[in-house]
Amino acid sequence: MQITSPAFKQNAKGALADVQLQQALGNVRSGFIDKRLKAVEALPEFEALRDSARAIKDHALANLDLYLEAYEKKVVASGGHVHWAESAEDARNIILDICRKANAKTVTKGKSMITEEIALNDFLEEKGIRPVETDLGEYIIQLRHEHPSHIIAPAVHVTQSQVEADFRRVHTHLDAARDLREPEALLNEARKVLREEYFAADVGITGANFLIAETGTSIIVTNEGNGDLTQILPKMHIAVASIEKIVPTLEDASQILRVLARSATGQDMSVYTTMSTGPRREGDVDGPGEYHVVLLDNGRSSMLGTEFQEMLRCIRCGACMNHCPVYHAVGGHAYGWVYPGPMGAVLTPSLIGVDKAGHLPNASTFCGRCESVCPMKIPLPKMMRHWREREFERGLNPAAARSGLKFWAFFARRPALYQAMTAIGMPLLSLLGGKSHRFGWLPLAGGWTRHRELPAPQGKTFMQQVRSARSAGAR
Amino acid sequence: MSGREAILGKVRTALKAKAGDTVRLAAVNERMAKSAPGIIPARGQLPAKERIDLFCAQAVKLFASVERLASADAVPAAVAGYLRQKNLPQSVRMGDDPRLSDLPWSQEGALEVRHGPSDGNDEVGVSHAFGGVAETGTVVMVSGADNPTTINFLPEHHIVVIDATSIQGDLETAIAGIRARFGKGEMPRTVNLISGPSRSGDIEQKLILGAHGPRALHLIVVGG
Ligand code: SF4
């Protein structure tokens, strides 16, 4: 997919002016937050489970090499195949190769952010293999030739009437006079259309929420059941997962599952949690005949051992974006790549480079809500700050911001001078602010004053106030 | 260099770890050997009767329907009754699980029982659960010729028979049960943890039941 992260500002402007998008985003603001809160409040152990989940992932990451090896051994022992992909390109080629060997013409897909990350659909299509998304949200955006705008609700930016229009446009074999006014009718239609695809598919591709080192199992979590039909009906199942999805045992996955569904959708458990190990066994009467796992690095290993390592604990629940005022305002597409919201603001620069994604960690109010709801206790604001520092070190910020900061730093390092200057500056600015005590325009601050007024400073400087308070206290 | 060596090499360098470090390896192996449960919520830790009640209550919250029977012999009549009540044809699909096939199906003369995996043309599937989890109202399904996985997903209605004594308080205990059955570190091809009928919220966040899996999940709890 084309990366538009460098154009975040233009993207955001467009999003704010998009009436339909703003209507759709209302569903994020109202839905997710209350549901999560209710589920969390109903489980007294939730906080303790967050700590437990964090400790599990920290341990797995600190021993990632060993758990990957153990996992591989068990997959092979259960009759599956493991493929290692350093880059997105490697992963695409590996998957194409497996599909070609299976003579695949149609591939059904369960919802997977990793396959978005490696832009698998466009690639397969180019090579003459037809990918069919089966998660309702993913199916909708595939019809629209769009990308997910949310990591668990990919079509959250689309309104019901848009879905209806898309179905009428694409499902031309169905009666044009059919009634599609209710969401149930839309779901029914997708169910019918996709049923045929499941049976037609030669290969089913899913992601994985967890990989279990102890057993060589991959786990997916869904509500629709599409990930299951995707993997049990075709003759081959390919699971694509990034390396940090590993946890040691089934019990570890169980701990994290408790915080995952609650943080994501406010459910205690998603409807379907599916553990897949190897291909079908002797005596089995259904299930895939072949099972492949593609392990993707694509930049994760270079986050290990850095200030961004903790981001690898992320379980893609989406809570951070559901609670983010910036995401609420602009939606997911403005972020310009696969991962939006606070987790995207940290992860995207790691994966595609801060030169392209530098705007994202700046698109934050530092309100801290993301960190407070993150089930894995990932310090997202701190890491955004790290990116800002790196961006500054590498001279990637605009010249005005850099010289402004240098100008300020000059005085900040000289406190006596700083205080003298502010003591003169404050009353002067206060005077210039006029009766309204506000500026409608200021030199060098057009970016701010174009949309709002800046209050003029009033009264004494902070240091003057401290001094007078101290002397008052001494009396 | 293969992708495998490259990735493992990069991970080791980043972690400042050496290949073949026996101390780290021992710690990792011990952790997998122990497979210790972590924090278990108090919610499901109840005596048998309350535990089974909780399982039923949680399942109903997830929009499953629940029926309780004193004995397994009453299952065929209950299945036939469910079909009548829902206006469904008297025909079901099931695997070869003797816990199901040994039941007195012939007493329901009108009821057709077909065996084997589902091909997508079955209105109703019947499975026997491996176990259940009271904490979340979840049924644990294990793949195999006894209970083919396709029956869990393709029929419009999924009827799951579950032995009340197999309902555990928490998922960790259910996992221990799978381990006891299949061996340490071994798993059947597919384990499905199912919590209610399938659903989607992908159209404007509205909850709609009956996405790609069954539209209805009916649990028949036997005993307890
Ligand atoms: S960063 Fe935290 S809150 Fe955001 S998706 Fe990842 S785990 Fe969820």
Instruction: Residue B106: count other Cβ atoms within 10 Å of its Cβ.
Output: 9
Give the mean pLDDT of chain B: 96
Residue A234 Cα, gap to closest chain B Cα (Å): 12
Q: Does residue A243 sit in the same domain as residue A348?
A: no
Q: Give me the number of domains chain A comprises.
A: 3
Q: Do B201 and A251 count as a contact with CB atoms less than 8 A apart? A: no
Which DSSP letter does residue A281 get?
P
Closest CA to B202 of A270, A137, A221, A161: A137
Please say if the pLDDT value at position A434 is more than 90: no
Q: Does residue A293 sit in the same domain as residue A320?
A: no
Question: Tell me, what's the pLDDT at A37?
Answer: 95
Please say if the pLDDT value at position B182 is more than 90: yes
Please say if the pLDDT value at position A1 is more than 70: yes
In a domain, A270, yes or no: yes
In a domain, B43, yes or no: no
Element (DSSP H or E) covering residue B200: strand B199-200
Question: Tell me, what's the pLDDT at A315?
Answer: 98
Residue A380 Cα: closest atom of ligand 1: 1
Distance A415 CA to ligand 1 centre (A): 41
Q: Which residue, of A373, A397, A421, is where some domain finishes?
A: A397
State how far the Cα of A465 lies from the Cα of A423, in Å rounded to an integer.
11
What's the whole-number mean pLDDT along residues A226-244?
97
Distance A57 CA to ligand 1 centre (A): 13
In a domain, B162, yes or no: yes
Q: Do A186 and B14 count as a contact with CB atoms less than 8 A apart? A: no
Q: Does residue A36 sit in the same domain as residue A159?
A: no
Q: What percent of chain A has pLDDT over 90?
A: 73
Closest CA to A229 of A152, A131, A120, A135: A135
Please say if the pLDDT value at position A450 is more than 80: no
Q: Is A376 in the pocket of ligand 1 (CB under 6 A)?
A: yes
User: Closest Cα to atom 6, ligand 1: which residue?
Assistant: A314
Tokens, residue B61: 């919250």
Q: Do B11 and A304 count as a contact with CB atoms less than 8 A apart? A: yes
Q: Is A378 in the pocket of ligand 1 (CB under 6 A)?
A: yes
Q: What percent of chain B has pLDDT over 90?
A: 95
A218 Cβ contact list (under 8 Å, min separation 6): A206, A208, A210, A211, A212, A239, A241, A275, A276, A277, A293
Q: Does residue B192 sit in the same domain as residue B131?
A: yes
Q: Which residues of A touch B117 (CB under 8 A)?
A: 285-286
Which of A212-216, A426-430, B4-8, B191-195 comes out lowest in average pLDDT? Answer: A426-430
Domain of residue A207, CATH code:
3.40.50.10420
Q: Does residue A441 sit in the same domain as residue A339?
A: no
Q: Which residues of B touch A258 (CB under 8 A)?
A: 41
pLDDT level of residue A475 (50, 70, 90 thresholds): low
Which of A421-425, B38-42, B204-208 comes out lowest in average pLDDT? Answer: A421-425
In a domain, A252, yes or no: yes
Instruction: List the single residue in B with minimal CA-CA distance to A257.
Output: B171
Q: Does residue A118 sit in the same domain as residue A251?
A: yes
Q: Do A274 and B212 count as a contact with CB atoms less than 8 A apart? A: no
State how far the Cα of A421 lies from the Cα of B158, in Å rounded to an integer.
77
Please say if the pLDDT value at position A474 is more than 70: no
In a domain, B41, yes or no: no
Instruction: Give per-residue pLDDT as tens, B137-156.
Output: 999 999 999 999 999 999 99
In a domain, A304, yes or no: no
Residue A462 Cα, gap to closest chain B Cα (Å): 46
Closest CA to A144 of A3, A18, A333: A333
Which of B11, B37, B117 faces A286 most closely, judged by CB atoms? B117
Question: Tell me, what's the pLDDT at B1?
Answer: 60
Give the mean pLDDT of chain A: 92
Question: Tell me, what's the pLDDT at A31?
Answer: 84
Q: Is A320 in the pocket of ligand 1 (CB under 6 A)?
A: yes
Q: Do B202 and A136 count as a contact with CB atoms less than 8 A apart? A: yes
Instruction: Residue A27: count other Cβ atoms within 10 Å of its Cβ.
Output: 18
Q: Is A344 in the pocket of ligand 1 (CB under 6 A)?
A: no
Q: Does residue B118 sit in the same domain as residue B205?
A: yes
Amino acid, res. A268 = D
Instruction: Give per-residue pLDDT as tens, B109-133.
Output: 999 999 999 999 999 999 999 999 9
| Residue-number span of the structural domain to which B14 is assigned | 3-34
Q: Which residues of A touch B210 (CB under 8 A)?
A: 187-188, 191
Closest CA to A351 of A296, A295, A294, A293: A296
Please say if the pLDDT value at position A401 is more than 80: no
State how far the Cα of A375 lies from the Cα of A370, in Å rounded to an integer.
10
Q: Give me the number of domains chain B comprises.
A: 2
A409 Cβ contact list (under 8 Å, min separation 6): none
In a domain, B40, yes or no: no
Q: Do B202 and A153 count as a contact with CB atoms less than 8 A apart? A: yes
Q: What ipTM score was computed for the predicted complex, to two decimals?
A: 0.97
State how far the Cα of A256 lies from the Cα of A33, in Å rounded to an integer.
20
Q: Which residues of B touch A152 (CB under 8 A)?
A: none
Q: Which residues of B touch A44 (CB under 8 A)?
A: 41-42
Amino acid, res. A141 = I
In a domain, B130, yes or no: yes
B166 interfaces chain A, CB cutoff of 8 Å? no
Question: Tell me, what's the pLDDT at A440?
Answer: 75
Question: Tell me, what's the pLDDT at B40?
Answer: 98
Q: Is A314 in the pocket of ligand 1 (CB under 6 A)?
A: yes
Closest CA to A300 of A313, A316, A318: A313
Residues 101-120 of B with CB under 8 A from A: 116-117, 120
Judging by DSSP bridges, how do beta strands A272-276 and A217-222 pair with one another?
antiparallel
Distance A225 CA to ligand 1 centre (A): 23
Which DSSP letter does residue A423 get?
H
Question: Tell me, what's the pLDDT at B44?
Answer: 97
Q: Does residue A79 sit in the same domain as residue A186?
A: yes
The answer to whether A119 touches A1, Cβ cutoff 8 Å, is yes
Q: Does residue A54 sit in the same domain as residue A192?
A: yes
In a domain, A469, yes or no: yes
Q: pTM of the full predicted structure?
A: 0.92
What is the C-alpha radius of gyration for chain B, rounded to an integer number of angstroms? 21
| Residue-number span of the structural domain to which A149 is assigned | 45-298
A39 Cβ contact list (under 8 Å, min separation 6): A261, A262, A266, A267, A268
Q: Which residue, of A232, A266, A298, is where some domain finishes?
A: A298
Q: Does residue B57 sit in the same domain as residue B108?
A: yes
Q: Does residue A68 sit in the same domain as residue A133?
A: yes
